[in-house]
Amino acid sequence: MATYELPDLPYDYDALEPSIDARIMELHHDKHHQGYVDGANAALDKLETMRENDEWGDVKGVERNLAFNLSGHVNHSVFWENMSPDGGGEPGGELADALDEHFGGFDQFKSHFSEAAKGVEGSGWGLLLYDHAAGKPIVSMAENHQNQSPQGATPLLVLDVWEHAYYLQYENNRGEYVDNFWDVVNWDDVAERYDRASTWTLSGTE
C-alpha cells in the first residue's frame, strides 16, 4: 500500500479554460503530479530498506529525493483545490481581514504574490503561507518545490510557475499566465485553509 496517492482533480480537465487549457491540466495532473507521488513513495521504500540493512551510503540523495517529490505532491494537491471554474473575485472571512492587516489590503497582497510568482528564478512556485512562528500569513517564492521557502509554514494558496504549468498555452509569457490565474482562484478553499492553519502556532494551540 503506497503512502502517497494521486488525488482526483475536483473538476474536469477543461473546467479552468480559458485561464488554463485542458491539455495542460491533463498532462500536469496525470503525468507530472503522478511522477512526484511515485518519487515520494520510492524514496520512502528506499529509506525503509536502508534501515533494515543498516546501510546508509545513499541517505543524502534519498532524503533529497523525498524532500523534492513530497513537496511536489503537497504543492500540487493544494494547487488543484485552490482553483475552481467558479473562482475569481476576492476573499472573505478571517482571511480577508488577515490580508488587510498583514499586507495592507487585498490589492497589495495580490501585487506581492504576483510579483513573487513572476520573479521565481527557473522552476518554482509563488506561495501564500501561514507562518506558524509569527502566527500570520506570508508570501514566499519556492525554487523547484521546496528550496528557499521557510519551514513551519502551511500552504494556503500556491501557484505553479514551472514551464510545464503554462508553456503549451502561454509559451514564454509567464506574466500573462499569472495574471489569468486570479480568475480561477477558489477563495472559499483558501479561506478554509487559513481558518484551519490559524488555530495553532509553534508554541501551541491558539
The set of cell numbers assigned to 39 is 518519487
Measured CA to CA, the distance from residue 196 to residue 70 in angstroms comes to 21
Task: Tell me the site size for Mn ion, rule CB under 5 A.
Answer: 3
Measured CA to CA, the distance from residue 7 to residue 154 in angstroms comes to 19
CB of 32 to Mn ion, least distance (A): 5
Q: Which helix (H) or strand (E) holds 129?
A: strand 124-131
Gyration radius of the chain over CA positions: 18
Binding mask 9-48 for Mn ion (x = CB under 5 A): -----------------------x----------------
Nearer to Mn ion, 123 or 201 (CB): 123
Q: What residues from 159 to 198 belong to the interface with Mn ion (CB under 5 A)?
A: 160, 162
CB of 182 to Mn ion, least distance (A): 18
Kind of pairing, strands 136-143 and 200-201? unpaired
Nearer to Mn ion, 99 or 129 (CB): 129
Place of cell 475552481: 84
Binding mask 142-161 for Mn ion (x = CB under 5 A): ------------------x-
- Residue 122 gets which letter from DSSP? S
Nearer to Mn ion, 32 or 110 (CB): 32
Q: Is 190 helix (H, G, I), strand (E, B) or coil?
A: helix
Instruction: Please give the residue whose beta carbon sits closest to Mn ion in the complex.
Output: 160
Nearer to Mn ion, 160 or 189 (CB): 160
Question: What's the gap between Cα 13 and its chain centre?
Answer: 18
Tell whether residue 131 is a contact of Mn ion (CB under 5 A).
Answer: no
Give the binding site for Mn ion (CB under 5 A).
Answer: 32, 160, 162
